[in-house]
Amino acid sequence: MGIDRRKFLVYGSASLGTAMLLKACGTETPTATTPPTPEASAGTIKVGILHSLSGTMAISEKSVVDAEQLAIEEINKSGGVLGKQIEAIVEDGASDWPTFAEKATKLIDQDKVVTVFGCWTSSSRKAVLPVFESKKHMLWYPVQYEGQECSNYVFYTGAAPNQQIEPSVDWLLENKGKDFFLVGSDYVFPRTANTIIKAQLEAKGGKVVGEDYLPLGNVEVTPIISKIKQALPNGGVIYNTLNGDSNVAFFKQLQGAGMTAEKYPSMSVSIAEEEVKAIGVDFLKGHYASWNYFQTVELPASVKFVEAFKAKYGADRVVNDPMEAAYVAVYFWKAAVEKAGTADDLEAVRKSALGLTFDAPGGMYTLENNHHLAKFVRLGQVRDDGLFDIIFESKAAVPPIPWNQFVAETKGFSCDWSDPAKGGKFKA
Amino acid sequence: MAELADGIFNGISTGSVLLLAALGLSIAFGLMGVINMAHGELMMLGAYTTYVVQNIFKGMGAQWFEVYIFFALIAAFMVTALMGFILERGVIKFLYGRPLETLLATWGVSLILQQFVRSVSWGLVIGIATFCLLFFGGWGITSFRPNWDKIKTWFLVVMFPLSVGIAIALSAVLGNIFKLAITKPWFGAQNVDVSSPLWLRGGTTIGTLQMPYTRLFIIALTITCVIGIYLFLQRSPWGLRMRAVTQNRTMSACLGIPTQKVDSLTFALSSGLAGIAGCALSFLGSVGPNTGQNYIVDTFMVVVVGGVGKLVGSIVAALALGTTNYLIGSGAIASLVKPITPLYDFFTFFATTSMAKVMLFALIVVFLQYKPAGMFPQKGRSVEL
């Protein structure tokens, strides 16, 4: 057999080279047609995008990356930031929390990015938090969360609990009844959210008739449905903080058990346009969701955002609240950098970010001193085409309250980063 | 009385879901001793096949949509059985008798399949097809040359990177020309929506007992599958050969049974059953890249508790586990022992779905201490081997 190592290397690399050449020919076509932009030669500003592109959370996080890249592309087309093009470095957190911390370190130390847009689950945010705090870096977090956090090194563009959960509970109490059954996935967000809801119901005359938790990914919901029926034989409100696949099973089997949206209206905080599409409109029609933004918001900025997104990613795609928050995050960062006149001095960028306003798809947002956004609260009802009819909209932007006022340990605390003496958690 | 009927029905229906998911595994694991971690992903492929069939039938009109599910069941069986066949020929064949390696290899396959459904697009399919055509086609043609043995290594060294390169280049070029039409993923990372035909929505009520049609359908399907497998194994010539190979592989081979064919067939059957399960369970749960993972632990639990190699073990175990899980989780046991306060408090504590699972696993651990080989252990000399 006449092949030794030297020949192997020669022929192997020759054929690999040919292959690479072919590949290069294949990809060179488009770059040749688009002329290099002058800004690109003047240097770029590197930003990091850190989301799960594989694993359980890829379902949700992939489209957030799409939204962030859309914003970056738009900014680049209109001349970039401080005359420089933005270069996004995308890393995959792989739905694994230690990986998130690792990749965050890599983005900061190796790629020298000036900011990071990333994370979805609270667990991933908690995993990268020490990295950003020790390196005094900057993270933009785009998802609604349970609150109880206010770091100087994170900007939270999703909803705080008082911008999503509390208004929806108030609305339900007024319009749908006083008996609540709480269903949630078994991890930190639903448990915290339900603690808040219970405290709020107690304060306002509602009643929790039952509470149940499903392990993440569990799809056998028969026991829960039996319990809801026992606890609410004549109908009542279901407050749903389930996440991921369990939602699908829950709504499919709810319908199978003959429990309609009229008799058992449910309010969800993790079901947006994308999820409706995945669960099936037939199962969700008539149920409610609470967010800051729906695709059906008719403001000019929203129409523009939806059109741009569909043009880039396909007409059958939808946008949702976390995607909008991620899109907005990129623009807030741009505004902060331009106000500070530098992208590299993070302290200056942080300072100038406070108090900024932006005409976002969801309305005029303000970045408050506690690093959260003042946004509008909206409640939507699922309609035939899988989008939401907006049935309630707060009259003004609701200021964010990260430290929960219904929970004894954090009652009375607030957060203000404009004043170094006050900081992340102080007794007001 | 009403509560009893409720408990029995829901227990059976929970159990039949478990059983349907575990049937295929109990064949692969029981008859062949293959720990197939990709079983859940085969179910997922079945579910995606259902989704595709559903969309085709949706386009054909309302009356066709009502019956798509039967075609979907057949299609899911075919697709996953074919996939199982390829998997057995391509991977598992080389790993018989090495359970740890099989476990790792099939787990790897499961990750590949998950990522495959996330990123599959026309570009990817064209790329893979081109590669297969060039590489395996070239292999087929050159292997007729008289000096094949001599040039085999050369062929591998040259052709492999070459066909990989051409395939990638081709799909990249096409992607640049046709843009989204080629590069857009078919399914994407999001879950897809499978909705059942109208006659499977809702349910019927007997007394106070509410029976969803999907549940009744799954129970019926499970019974059909069990009877089908039983008849196949006990009454058909291939079933006879399968059982012979399970009992004594060497002797079967001596007697002229083509053991390799039997292996492929068994594994294809097991995978096909996974496909059927995936199709049926898509009416209850989600269909997405992670669907399979939601079931894999439960299916292994059923097979292990039931006893490896016994179909009846899986049946009894699935029903027992389903009923126990339901009774604990729904708080039925708690309300049964209401007069005895400490017991009541104890069971109320476990009466949430996630705590019920904790208790179920604790019970299984205790059970396996006394019966390590499961409910229906295999007897005979082959066990000691």
pLDDT, average across residues B355-376: 90
Whether the CB-CB separation of B349 and B355 falls below 8 Å is answered with yes
At residue A75, does pLDDT exceed 90? yes
How sure is the predictor about B384, in pLDDT bands with cuts at 50, 70 and 90? very low
The pair of structure tokens assigned to B242 is 């399968």
A66 interface with B at CB cutoff 8 Å: no
What is the residue-averaged pLDDT of chain B? 87
The answer to whether B134 touches B162, Cβ cutoff 8 Å, is yes
Chain B residues inside the 8 Å CB shell of A54:
115, 118
Helix or strand or coil: residue A116?
strand
Q: Could you tell me the domains of chain B?
A: 2-120+185-375 (1.10.3470), 121-184 (no CATH)
pLDDT at position B373:
84
| Whether residue B385 has pLDDT greater than 90 | no
Integer Cα distance of B232 and B242 in angstroms: 10
Which comes out higher in pLDDT, residue B156 or B365? B365
- Mean pLDDT on A266-293: 90
Which residues of B fall within a CB distance of 8 Å from A323?
none
**pLDDT per residue over A219-235, tens digit each?**
788 889 888 988 898 88
A19, A226, A258 member nearest B10 (Cβ): A226
Chain A residues 254-293 within an 8 A CB cutoff of chain B:
255-258, 274-275, 277-283
Q: How many angstroms away from the CA of A213 is the closest CA of chain B?
A: 6
Could you tell me where the DSSP H helices lie in A257-299? 273-279, 281-284
- Report which secondary-structure segment, H or E, holds A328: helix A321-340
Pairing, β A388-393 against β A378-382: antiparallel
Element (H, E) at B367: helix B353-370
Question: Which uninterrupted H or E stretch holds B245?
Answer: helix B237-247
Predicted confidence at residue A36, as pLDDT, reads: 37
Say yes or no for a CB contact (<8 Å) between B352 and A212.
yes
Dihedral pair phi/psi, residue B192, rounded to 5°: -110, 165
In chain B, residues with a C-beta closer than 8 Å to the C-beta of A244 are 286, 290
Which residue in the set A3, A25, A275 is minimally distant from B154, CB to CB? A3
Give the one of B191, B202, B286 whose C-beta lies nearest to A258's C-beta.
B202
Q: Given this model, what pLDDT does residue B362 score? A: 93
Rounded Cα distance, B380 and A35, in Å: 76
Each as own residue / partner, the long-range contacts of residues B147-150 (CB below 8 Å, 24 or more positions apart, any chain) are B150/A1, B150/A2
Residue B239 in this model has a pLDDT that exceeds 80? yes
The answer to whether the Cβ–Cβ distance between B169 and A255 falls below 8 Å is no
State the count of interchain CB pairs (< 8 A) between A and B. 193
Return the pLDDT at A300: 94
List Cα–Cα distances, B313 to A140, B74, B366, in angstroms: 53, 27, 18
pLDDT tens readout for residues B57-82: 988 888 888 889 999 999 999 999 99
In chain A, % of residues over pLDDT 70: 90
How would you classify the pairing of strands B203-206 and B209-212? antiparallel
Alpha helical stretches, state H, A219-341: 222-231, 245-256, 273-279, 281-284, 300-313, 321-340
Q: Are A119 and A100 in contact (CB under 8 A)?
A: yes
Contacts of A11 in chain B (CB under 8 A): 154, 157-158
Q: A54 is written with which tokens?
A: 């594989």
Q: Which residues of B touch A217 (CB under 8 A)?
A: 290, 293-294
Q: Which of A22, A30, A277 sits opposite B193 (nearest CB)?
A: A277
- pLDDT confidence of residue A11: 58
Burial of B112 (0-12, 13-18, 19+ CB in 10 A): exposed
Chain-chain contact of A59 with B14 (C-beta, under 8 angstroms): no
DSSP state of B337: T
- A255 contact residues in B (CB cutoff 8 A): 201-202
Taking contacts as CB-CB distances below 8 angstroms, the residues of chain A near B216 are none
* Overall average pLDDT of the B147-165 stretch: 85
Residues of A in contact with B153 (CB under 8 A): 1, 3
The interface pTM score, or ipTM, of the predicted complex is 0.76
pLDDT at site B88: 93
A84 - beta bridge partners? A81
| A302 and chain B in contact, CB less than 8 A | no
Range name among A174-178, A234-238, B198-202 with the lowest pLDDT average: B198-202
Count Cα neighbours of A273 within 13 Å in the Cβ-side half-sphere.
23
User: For chain B, how many residues are written?
Assistant: 385
- C-alpha A66/C-alpha A64 separation (Å) is 5
Average pLDDT over residues A342-365: 93
Q: Across residues A80-104, what is the average pLDDT?
A: 91
Residues B313-333: tens digit of each pLDDT? 899 999 999 999 888 888 888
For chain B, the first-to-last Cα distance in angstroms comes to 50
3-class SS of residue A320: coil
Q: What is the pLDDT of residue A38?
A: 39
A30, B176: Cβ pair inside 8 Å? yes
Kindly tell me if the per-residue pLDDT of A27 is higher than 70: no
For range A161-169, the mean pLDDT = 90
pLDDT at A31: 36
pLDDT tens track for A128-157: 999 999 999 999 999 998 888 999 999 999
Q: Which pLDDT does position A115 carry in this prediction?
A: 95
For residue B364, name the pLDDT band (cuts at 50, 70, 90): very high
- Predicted pLDDT at A13: 60
The model carries a pTM of 0.79
Which of B153, B166, B353 lies nearest to residue A223, judging by beta carbons? B353
pLDDT at A216 over 80: no
| A1-5, A44-48, A424-428: range with lowest mean pLDDT | A1-5
Structure confidence at residue B382 as a pLDDT band (50, 70, 90): low
pLDDT tens digits along B92-151 = 989 888 888 999 999 999 999 998 998 888 888 888 899 988 888 888 888 888 888 888
Q: Is A223 on the interface with B (CB under 8 A)?
A: yes
